[in-house]
Chain A
Amino acid sequence: MKIHEYQAKDLLRERGISVPVGRVATDPDEAVRAVRPLIEASGIPVVVVKAQIHAGGRGKGRFLEHPDLGGVTVVTDGVEGGVEAAEAAVRSLAERMLGSTLVTLQTGPEGKQVGRLYVEAGIAIERELYLSIVLDRALGRNVVMASTEGGTEIEEVAEHTPEKIFRAIIDPAVGLLPFQAHALAWQLGLRGDAAKAGRRFLAAVADAAIALDTDMLEINPLVVTKGGDVMALDAKVSFDKNALFRQGALAPLRDLSEEDPAEVEAATYDLSFIKLDGTIGCLVNGAGLAMATMDTIKQEGGEPANFLDVGGGATTENVTAAFKIIMKDPSVRGIFVNIFGGIMKCDTIANGVVQAVKDVGLQVPLVVRLEGTNVEVGRSIIEGSGLAGLESASSMRDGARKIVELTA
């Protein structure tokens, strides 16, 4: 689960981690009202207006409606014109940004509509650094990654100047140890008060990542201020879906408007669904088989319309829902049901498919391939249903070939 930058910063602030003061705004008036208190609190006549969408690359992103405008804008009008000038500039920005479509490298060309802004106090920056807590899958441990190259994508740093990335492996039995925080702060070139602030910051962020079950926690840039403080200027946080049952406080932070409606609906039925660009709908059990089904359709000359894993514990109702979600997509010209029953039983799938077709009808060709647990029962349900327009397949390739031919 992803959250917005302002929500991530609230979570960090609650845990004593230094972040700039800021206020979230959903209309221009609210944005303007944020300016004076922020300037008074920071003592700096500069504010930053940041579009809140889940995709990264906002600073370099541009609005479709305002090609000259980026998703993160520093307002310096207050330096000469005072608070009123800053407020006027923020109003103009907010009016153009809110409701407009921000396109970044991560949103795709269609972009994302901006519904919220974060207005933040300006910071006098001495240096920009990088920090993240990620899972090292090969080790099975969380790792702190820090770099002196703040503001740059870490993949780029890893490729060109890997010697500027410093790592500390967290032993889950004891957490990030003081000597590790000290070593990282030292390697980042932090000295004096900044080193002390840096050590505290690193320890608190490592604890936060584990306590909050984050999937990824990235602070880029992490800044050293002219005053010697260490602060998160940006924060990108996502959470382990499997741990949300014990992170009740995070539930209200979910922003459904940032997610694909079909994917949201699928999730309520415990289906793993991802919308793709093709024309052949897929209903499969098992993530590996679902991916391989997409691969095989492509190999046979077709294009998959979706990834859909009904999972192992699906009921007839879940399968019916899955089928309906696929049918709802207007670009779907045919459906391939590919099941190799293990924990999932073929009769459950067969009943779900038959029920869905009875409920909503079948406007496109359907190819069904069943194998595995309770396969005989499943096949007899399909055969006994008398559904028209349904073809059986003897293998995955046979099924993929048939559905590609039927939709050609």
Chain B
Amino acid sequence: MSVLVDRDTRLLVQGLGGAGKFHVDRSIAYGTQVVAATHPTRAGEVETFEGDVDTSGVPGREGRYRVDVPIFATVREAVAATRANASVVFVPPPFAADAIMEAADAGVPLIVVITEGIPIQDMVRVKRYLEGRPSRLVGPNCPGVITPHECRIGIMPGYIHEAGRIGVVSRSGTLTYEAVKQLTDVGLGQTTAIGIGGDPVNGTSFVEALAMFEADPATEGVIMIGEIGGSAEEEAAAWIASSMTKPVAAFIAGTTAPPGKRMGHAGAIISGGMGTASEKIAALREAGAIVAETPSDMGDAVLEAMRAAGRL
């Protein structure tokens, strides 16, 4: 079991630029079913991906792969022709909001947005547009979603993942990889890893991701990785205290970040004294989460949380 994506996920690609092509190729090598792409000027063509199978991905595959991905003019046509049930967006920032809304209009249940640099007002509009529609948005400005050995959507290195017991949710891409690798190294593995993205306005929140993991029978514990800025971690802490029965470990980046400076991510800023790492760490500890002191301690924090819950 897992959340959001699995073997049956049929992926549509929006945005076949350099980064899009490279990472879609990695997803196909991993064993993800990539069934369609859209492109404004290349409708009717086929994009061929071939190479050596990534043996860390879906099991039982070896040798080489060759996949012809048909390109469509619109998401609606692509979905009608291929029954795609998830989309990954690599479209450049000026056009990304439109791409997300097109996918939502076509009823794509899961839209994962990798693009970094989408204007905030565009995301405000996107969030409004998604209200009342059944699509779930993950991101933007995120590494994507992966269920180890089943489906990889996004840009994360596949080989560090191992199917297992822990759900991972994070605002940071590279810190997700740190956590995943440590979970693999300590033998706990992951059910699904979700990057929710570093932007101030995003689709899926910590609380929603935690709720999915709480409901997933295979997930036995969760690690959430937050950072300075906003109050999403405090909201998560409140939800953990009120509704979470599974053990939670956490790490918050930015203890040494100066106030008033945007630390790389558009959303990572301490403003007016709000959104500091220490407030978030205190809220999570108060809620019973085990908070790692450094990112190198994330695996150990999960072990400690699992032990305390009697799950090890």
* Interface, chain A (partner B; CB < 8 A): 106, 135, 137-138, 140-142, 154-155, 171-173, 210, 213, 215, 240-243, 245-246, 272, 274, 276, 284-292, 294-296, 298-299, 304, 307, 309, 311-313, 340-343, 371-373, 375, 395-397
Add 8 more A-B contacts to A311-B116, A342-B157, A371-B160 (CB < 8 A): A135-B201, A213-B121, A243-B120, A289-B178, A291-B264, A292-B178, A298-B256, A342-B174
- Complex Cα–Cα for A285 and B172 (A): 11
Known contacts A274-B261, A290-B263; A140 and B127 CB within 8 A of each other: yes
Closest B residue by C-beta to A372 = B157
Known contacts A137-B267, A141-B124, A272-B264; A288 and B231 CB within 8 A of each other: no
Q: What's the minimum C-beta distance from A327 to chain B, rounded to whole angstroms?
A: 20
Q: What's the minimum C-beta distance from A125 to chain B, rounded to whole angstroms?
A: 26
CB within 8 Å of A: which B115-172 residues: 116-125, 127-128, 143, 155-157, 160, 170-172
- Complex Cα–Cα for A372 and B184 (A): 14
Q: Which residues of B contact A240 (CB under 8 A)?
A: 119-121, 266
- Complex Cα–Cα for A285 and B156 (A): 13
Closest B residue by C-beta to A296 = B294
Q: Which residues of A contact B251 (CB under 8 A)?
A: 292
Q: Are B128 and A171 in contact (CB under 8 A)?
A: yes
Q: Per a CB cutoff under 8 Å, which of A106, A215, A286, A294 touches B120? A: A215
Q: Which residues of B contact A340 (CB under 8 A)?
A: 157, 174, 177-178
Q: Which residues of B contact A373 (CB under 8 A)?
A: 26, 157
Q: Are B294 and A172 in contact (CB under 8 A)?
A: no
Q: Which residues of A contact B124 (CB under 8 A)?
A: 135, 140-142, 172
- Complex Cα–Cα for A313 and B117 (A): 12
Q: Which residues of A contact B181 (CB under 8 A)?
A: 371
* Interface, chain B (partner A; CB < 8 A): 19, 23, 26, 93-94, 114, 116-125, 127-128, 143, 155-157, 160, 170-175, 177-178, 181, 198, 200-201, 225, 227-232, 235, 251, 253-258, 260-261, 263-268, 272-273, 293-296
Q: Per a CB cutoff under 8 Å, which of B172, B272, B273 touches A287? A: B172
Total inter-chain residue pairs, C-beta < 8 Å: 181
Q: Which residues of B contact A343 (CB under 8 A)?
A: 19, 23, 114, 143, 155, 173
Q: Are B294 and A286 in contact (CB under 8 A)?
A: no
Q: Are A289 and B175 in contact (CB under 8 A)?
A: yes
Q: Are B228 and A291 in contact (CB under 8 A)?
A: yes
- Complex Cα–Cα for A395 and B119 (A): 35
Q: Which residues of A contact B256 (CB under 8 A)?
A: 291, 294-295, 298, 304
Q: Which residues of B contact A292 (CB under 8 A)?
A: 172, 175, 178, 251, 253-254, 294-295
What are 13 inter-chain pairs, A to B, with CB distance below 8 A? A138-B231, A243-B120, A243-B121, A274-B261, A286-B264, A289-B253, A291-B257, A340-B174, A343-B114, A343-B155, A343-B173, A372-B157, A372-B174
Q: Which residues of A contact B267 (CB under 8 A)?
A: 137
Known contacts A138-B235, A341-B157; A298 and B255 CB within 8 A of each other: yes
Q: Per a CB cutoff under 8 Å, which of A135, A173, A291 touches B263? A: A291
Known contacts A215-B120, A288-B227, A291-B254; A245 and B294 CB within 8 A of each other: no
Q: Which residues of A contact B255 (CB under 8 A)?
A: 295, 298
Q: Are B120 and A288 in contact (CB under 8 A)?
A: no
Q: Per a CB cutoff under 8 Å, which of B114, B116, B264 touches A290? A: B264
Q: Which residues of B contact A141 (CB under 8 A)?
A: 124, 127-128
Q: Which residues of A contact B122 (CB under 8 A)?
A: 243
- Complex Cα–Cα for A299 and B297 (A): 12
Closest A residue by C-beta to B293 = A299
Closest A residue by C-beta to B181 = A371
Q: Per a CB cutoff under 8 Å, which of B114, B143, B263 touches A307? A: B263
Known contacts A137-B230, A213-B121, A307-B263; A371 and B258 CB within 8 A of each other: no
